[in-house]
Amino acid sequence: MTAPMYVLLAVALVCANLPFVGNRWFGVKKLPKKRFPHHLLELVAGFLFVGALAYALEAQSGAVHDQGWAFYVVVLCLYLIFAFPAFVLRYFWHGRNRE
């Protein structure tokens, strides 16, 4: 693995977990209580950001390969697996009513 791949993995881990860490919407606007749709929207935005970064890194290193639908399904599942630790901490570990 090359250095850009390690950077991409680190960015993906951070972007997948950030929605579940704090109560700020996209890290800017403080919300009294972040609901699940806020988390989901941040998760999708992070996924799109990581995808754009991966595309840019691949284009920089050489030719961009065409991918089928199965590739994107696997990448989405891996991104959701990256988000699992913070999701569990937010919704299962701290209890239902504590934030």
pTM score of the predicted model: 0.84
Token pair belonging to 66: 């065409």
Considering only the C-alpha atoms of the chain, give the largest distance between any 2 of them, rounded to a whole number of Å: 49
C-alpha–C-alpha distance, residues 43 and 83, integer Å: 8
- The contacts of residue 57 (CB under 8 Å, 6+ apart) are 4, 5, 8
- Per-residue pLDDT tens for 7-52? 999 999 999 999 988 888 887 888 888 888 988 999 999 999 999 9
State how far the Cα of 24 lies from the Cα of 13, in Å rounded to an integer: 18
CA–CA dist 62, 86 (Å, integer): 34
